Amino acid sequence: MSETNPARRVILITGATSGIGRAAAFALAKKGAHVIIHGRDEVKTDQLRREIIVACGHLQVDTIVADLFLLTEVRKMADHINERYKNLDVLINNAGGLMGTEREETPEGHEKTVALNLFAPFLLTELLLEKLKKSNDGRIINVSSVAHKHLAKPDFYDIENKKNYSVSKAYGDAKLFLILISQKLSRDLRTAGITNVTVNTLHPGLVASNFLGGSGLSSWVKFISKISVPFSKTSAQGAATIIYLATSNEVRGVSGKYFDNSRPVKVSARYNAVENENLVRDYCEKVAVSLLQNDPDK
């Protein structure tokens, strides 16, 4: 694989303290990148920083702590990045997960699955986009899932599943929505003549990790997950496509694609329509505007 030189490129990875995010952080730091690792827990995030520094042999590893369930914290995180760093070359929106069997809302009033898997990456990307435009090779990488093909049953007029919630539907919907807004952003950038920033999504594969830990899922779902572990990828294998999209020259300038095993594959055609992209994007924008209007710090 031909790589763009990752040395000195600034890369932000959300959800970096476990699983594929952690594996990607180690791999990219070892390649010489200036890695910013995000986590929810300050102690775990700082411990990871120390481990990466020892493993990769350089000090260009920074941390940022934020609870991405809360859009106010996403905004504060983006403010910190914009103020502290002159440039940002790669944004990896990796943080995500399944929630519980009962529908729950964040303190800000948003369904938790869509808040973490859709609103957080949408808002973070929007707030960091100008910084990414300053890179000669800016890359936005959104971690989606094959669940968009098998679990999504979206109502595009009920994005937050107020009428018909199930944990699997909510997760599949959110990962589908993330693909749709990524395709929309890619096309909008090209229409605006911006060719130095790309947007791609990926399926990391079934990864043996603590992905379901604490999700509140029923025992049989956790049992299925457990018995599938022998057929799963390691975290390092699951991170391979992330690393490929972040560093490979083969995908420089490639945008609006969905990848699996470092290859572009087709998105499920059932809901893949420009009209649906616009509906999801419009809803995300309304959520973001409402946040900024009601934020006392703004």
Q: Is 171 a catalytic residue?
A: yes
Rounded to an integer, what distance in angstroms lies between the CA atom of residue 37 and that of residue 85?
14
Nearest Cα residue to 141 out of 32, 207, 66, 239? 239
Interior/surface letters 39-54, b for 16+ CB within 10 angstroms, e for the rest: bbeeebbeebbeebee
The residue to which tokens 């869509």 are assigned: 114
Long-range contacts (CB closer than 8 Å, 24 or more residues apart) made by 208-214: 208/232, 208/233, 208/234, 208/235, 209/18, 209/19, 209/20, 209/235, 209/238, 210/18, 210/19, 211/19, 211/97, 211/98, 212/98
The residue to which tokens 């800016």 are assigned: 138
Catalytic residue among 85, 157, 165, 171: 171
Catalytic residues: 171
